[in-house]
Amino acid sequence: MITEPSPRKIHIIDDDPHTIQVLDHVLKKKGYIVESSFSGTDAFEAFNSYTPDLVLLDIIMPEMDGYQVCRLLKNDKIMANIPVIFITASHDTSELVKGFDAGAVDFISKPVNRAELLARVNTHLELKLSRDIIELKNRELRQEVEIRREVEEKFKALSETAFEAVIFLQNGKIIEANKAAFEILGFQPADSNAPSVFSYTDEKGAEILKNILNTGEGSGPLEMVFYNAEKKPFYALVQYQTINYKGEIVNVLAIRDITRQKEMDKEIFNAILEAEEKERKRFSRDMHDGLGALLSTMKIYTGLLQKDNKSPDEKAMLLDEMKDTLNKAVESARTIANNLMPSVLMDHGLIKALKSFSEALNKTKVINIRFLYPETDFYVNTNTEIHIYRIVLELVNNTLKHAQAKNIDVRLEIMEDRLMLDYKDDGKGFDFQHTYETRSGSQGLKNILSRVNFMDGEGKFESEPGAGLNFYCKVPF
């Protein structure tokens, strides 16, 4: 049984005794074991006797700077998987990118904020634990495959006590099966005609099985969908090998029903994927989502100010609007820097955030956006609000950049336990399939669909040249 180690060990590398003292006090108060070093050299000496769970690393240090220390850690076989969080007073994007290139997973700004420190440390410790759990499971699976190869001659006898379905195949026909196979697949031992294994899989699964049976390549584990005798689908993990059975070489499949396991693991896998995506794309995505529309609005105001036909009053009004938009952009930049959600969304919720955004865009008079929403109050969890908000911003930014549209309609509806988003513009449209399959220009579309998938929702783009764009999705909440 896998249990979380307690307490967790954190190592601080910083040449500033005051910073070490502050970090040491905050982290020990939360129950962490904390060790520290004043240089990278001292830290590596300490790592000869123990391995921390996380490293907090200053960038500016004598002898070796933080980037050099981080690269050495990532080249060390034992330390390579230990998450490194840089501590820095710099907000220079190029410096932060350099840190990620060196192998860091995150940054904490100086002076250190206690809540931010504990939140980031806890996030990356949990992420590391999740990776360790998955790696341990993978090692167990590899060991299991190796054991199976070593006991080929005893496989048949042992298979009757296995929890997995074990079937022996000749030309794709099931010639022998253990008790678990009868229970999982649902056929009867007394069946007179040997059933085909392909009748228990979908088309994709049949293709995979035919390939390994014909070529003998790949021992697994392979994940695929099977169907029992009642045509009810289930997820299975399949391992393959050949053995000498009654003087003939036969194919053996071990099939484990992992439907419940997938349901239990789904949350942790989604969390890992989300965290990894956040680490890789946080800056580019947040800059795009948080500031894109505001900067586009500023650009529009600037263009309007440059026109000679504007009266002093109109220019004054535009300047006021620019100041207001600039303040919002500054607030958004501050939010990104502190890794927080958009402030208006955080303070007032999804409807207020989208109303505010629509009103600001309509004031430019460059495009008309109509936002329709339910009049009755409803509750949507925070994660769903963030995803829907950013999907709408992504869609609007794409319309402003590419569509040459005059109108946008955004509609939110509640239908039973689903939140429905319907987005339309009257722009020039595009060939969705071609754009999606082309690397350039497809990232925004893929980002939108990945957000919908993460929410366990359904989404679809409908567009063609000359026909505008329609995107709709429905997600549980």
- In the chain, the domains with their CATH numbers are 9-147 (3.40.50.2300), 151-257 (3.30.450.20), 263-476 (3.30.565.10)
Tokens of 129: 């634990």
Residue 33 reports pLDDT greater than 90: yes
- For residues 431-453, give the mean pLDDT: 76
pLDDT of residue 162: 58
Give the least confident one: 84-98, 302-316, 359-373: 302-316
| Cβ density class 398-424: b for 16+ within 10 Å, e for less | bbbebbebeebebebeeeeeebebebb
Give the model's pLDDT for residue 177: 80
Rounded distance between C-alpha atoms, residue 34 and residue 12, angstroms: 7
Quick one: what percent of the chain has pLDDT higher than 70?
Answer: 81
What local confidence, expressed as pLDDT, does residue 91 receive?
76
Task: Identify whether the C-beta of residue 60 lies closer than 8 Å to the C-beta of residue 73.
Answer: no
Q: Which helix (H) or strand (E) holds 398?
A: helix 382-398
Q: How far is CA 175 from CA 105, 227, 242, 246, in A?
A: 52, 19, 14, 12
Instruction: Please tell me which residue, 427 or 441, carries the higher pLDDT value.
Output: 427
pLDDT score recorded for residue 338: 40
The answer to whether residue 232 scores a pLDDT higher than 80 is: yes
**Band of the pLDDT at 159, cuts 50, 70, 90?**
low
Average pLDDT over residues 194-208: 83
What's the whole-number average pLDDT of the chain? 81
Whether 26 shows a pLDDT value over 90: the answer reads yes
- Whether 70 contacts 46, CB under 8 Å: no
